[in-house]
């Protein structure tokens, strides 16, 4: 299957700091997605990106679809305690979605 | 509720037993996916249903795994002769397929399977 490399694996930051995480792939994707998963729940979609080079914001979140279509990043500005969770990137190719291994974010108040 | 529901939420079984996991997708969603999430790992694609088309089973790890979708709605994932390595959270997702921007998936809360 497709391999998505997501980094960093975990982050411990102070409240108010900005966060950046990224995903790279050996394959080209049509769509890049970013999800957040809280304990005991399924992932929830944060941002979807549909075109190479696209930069999209959703509140304090900003994500970009790399121009090579093989990478994407997610930035979170001015982190707050409720940002805690695991963030996953995912790439879509035809009808299948391939997920990264996740970035665990801890925000210290 | 209006979201994807899964049952049971937790399942503990003995090695060698069969288990059935159920997914109720969002009403009107024609696409349904099953994923497996092992501890500390990302989601691993298992199977995909779209309308009346033949399912994409390319992610099923072995012939012990099978899934059905009845009437284009509810889906059941069956694992026969469970092994300890089958222990994981099994997630179901559905999406409304009608164009690229409607291919967003909505996930259920998952079923945590523990094989003793």
Q: Which residues of B touch A100 (CB under 8 A)?
A: 42
Q: Are the beta carbons of B42 and A97 separated by less than 8 Å?
A: no
pLDDT of B105 higher than 60: yes
Average pLDDT estimate for A72-78:
97
Residue B62: predicted pLDDT: 94
* A4 touching B (Cβ < 8 Å): yes
pLDDT in tens, A16-30: 999 999 999 999 998
Sorting pLDDT into bands at 50, 70 and 90, what band is A83?
A: very high
Average pLDDT estimate for A9-17:
96
Residue B40: predicted pLDDT: 74
Q: How far is B53 from chain A (nearest CA, A)?
A: 12
pLDDT in tens, B21-77: 999 999 989 899 999 998 877 899 999 998 888 899 989 999 999 999 988 799 999
CA angle A21/B89/B77 to nearest 5° reads 125
Sorting pLDDT into bands at 50, 70 and 90, what band is A14?
A: very high
Q: Given B40, B56, B91, which is nearest A42 (Cβ)?
A: B91
pLDDT in tens, A27-65: 999 899 999 999 889 999 999 999 999 999 999 999 999
pLDDT, averaged across chain B? 91
Calculate the alpha carbon distances from B31 to A57, A73, B18, B49, B102 in Å: 27, 27, 26, 6, 11
Sorting pLDDT into bands at 50, 70 and 90, what band is B101?
A: low
pLDDT top residue among B28 and B115: B115
Residue A1: predicted pLDDT: 57
Q: Transcribe A51-72 into DSSP letters.
A: STT-EEEETTEEEEE-TTSSEE
């Amino acid at each position: 299957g497709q391999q998505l490399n997501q980094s960093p694996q975990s982050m411990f930051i102070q409240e108010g700091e900005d966060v950046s995480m990224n995903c790279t792939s050996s394959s080209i994707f049509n769509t890049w997605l970013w999800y957040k998963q809280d304990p005991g729940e399924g992932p929830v979609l944060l941002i979807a990106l549909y075109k190479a080079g696209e930069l999209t914001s959703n509140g304090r979140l900003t994500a970009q679809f790399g121009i090579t279509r093989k990478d994407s990043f997610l930035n979170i500005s001015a982190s707050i305690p409720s940002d805690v969770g695991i963030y996953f990137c995912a790439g879509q190719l035809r009808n299948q979605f391939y997920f990264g291994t996740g970035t665990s974010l801890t925000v210290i108040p | 509720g209006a979201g994807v529901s899964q049952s049971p939420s937790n399942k503990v079984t003995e090695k060698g037993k069969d288990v059935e996991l159920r997914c109720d997708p969002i009403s009107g969603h024609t696409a349904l996916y099953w994923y497996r999430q092992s501890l500390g790992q990302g989601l691993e694609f298992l199977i995909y249903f779209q309308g009346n088309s033949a399912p994409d089973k390319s992610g099923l790890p072995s012939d012990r795994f099978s899934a059905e979708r009845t009437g284009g709605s509810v889906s059941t994932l069956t694992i026969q002769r469970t092994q300890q390595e089958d222990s994981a959270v099994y997630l179901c997702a559905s999406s409304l397929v009608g164009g690229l921007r409607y291919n967003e998936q909505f996930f259920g809360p998952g079923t945590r399977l523990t094989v003793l």
